[in-house]
Structure 1
Amino acid sequence: MTDICILDTTILLNILDVPNRNNEKNNVMADFKTYIESDCRFIIPFVVAVEVGNHISQNGDGTMRRQAARRFVDMMQKTFNGELPFEISDFELKLEWQKWITEFVDKAGQNKTAAKPNEGMSLTDLSIIKEYEDIQAKNKANRRTHVEVFIWSLDSDLTAYGRSY
């Protein structure tokens, strides 16, 4: 069975080697190799792709931004063409947000952690968690092909949804 790995922004920034956002590149690439060898199915949530693009556009000088943007666009085009082990999620953003967007008020108002008392949960993180819950529910309903679903992230708010191989 192929486990489902939902990628977070922190992981894609390291895979893409985005300057100033790639401090864990060696560890991420080693884990990526392990996940590939374990035949994981990698899903890139739409909100993650948008957030990666935002980080690239706000990072470094114009040359660095263009180089990182080119790597990102190449990766996305190859993903669309089925040339890489990634998929863009089938998460229906508008329909899904309508179901749970009101939760964002409380999530944004709560402190993330004791170490982050002035920061609430981001809409991106909430979207990733909701996508995880949706995939997990569909997975549990299909008992014949049950697989593990996890979020791969370096973000302390999402690591509880992850796993290690």
Structure 2
Amino acid sequence: MNVHFIDTSVLVNILDVPYMNADREKVLDEYERLRESGIDTLILPLATIIETGNHIAHLRDGNVRREKGKHMADMLKDMAEGNAPWEYYEEEINRDDLLYFAEKFPDMAMAETGLGDLSIIAAYNKYKESVPAIGYIRIWSIDYHLQSYSEEMITEQRRKR
């Protein structure tokens, strides 16, 4: 199983949010490949949902804002009902995570990494520690600072004699 945490920079391209969709063709090609592979799991983190919703809510054109808002609402409904190509990681944020954010955020802010990205990184780390049988895991992002979160999770198997 390969796991891909979807960052806002990818979701805005999938949803074709104006002024944020410069990589749409590249993202859609990869998105279709991942959907059809049969071995890839797409995770939509809470921060990605909130940040994308905020971007849509701030679109100047009210007609486009309504259209994209409806598209996102349908996407969320499909995800909640298990009919979307991605899933929500329900174990994402708890009290311990809030304490982790409080500890890490001042340094992350100095590195220009916001709380949304920090929460995606935390969910990525939590998922890889708690879910067995991951072959590959990454944060799928256009943003360079999140692309380094990618690793093979191959475990060494020993043969019995």
Q: How many residues align?
A: 149
Query: Gapped runs of 5+ residues in structure 1?
Result: 112-119
Which consecutive segments of 4 or more residues in structure 1 shift more than 6 A?
A: none
Looking at structure 1, the residues matched to 88 and 130 of structure 2 have their Cα atoms a distance apart, in angstroms, of 17
Letter in 2 for 1:56: I
**Contact 1:6/1:150 (<8 A) preserved:** yes
Q: Deviations over 1:135-159 (max 9, x none)?
A: 11124xx3xx232111110011101
**Shift, 1:24, TM fit:** 1.0
Letter in 1 for 2:81: N
**Contact 2:2/2:136 (<8 A) preserved:** yes
**Shift, 1:80, TM fit:** 0.9
Q: Give the superposed CA RMSD.
A: 1.5
**Shift, 1:37, TM fit:** 2.3
Which SS does the other structure have where 1:101 is aligned?
helix
Letter in 1 for 2:83: E
TM-score (structure 1 length as normaliser): 0.84
**Contact 1:11/1:152 (<8 A) preserved:** yes
Which SS does the other structure have where 2:145 is aligned?
coil
Percent of residue pairs identical: 31
TM-score (structure 2 length as normaliser): 0.86
Q: Please state if 1:76 is matched with 2:50.
A: no
Query: Gapped runs of 5+ residues in structure 2?
Result: 152-161
**Contact 2:101/2:119 (<8 A) preserved:** no
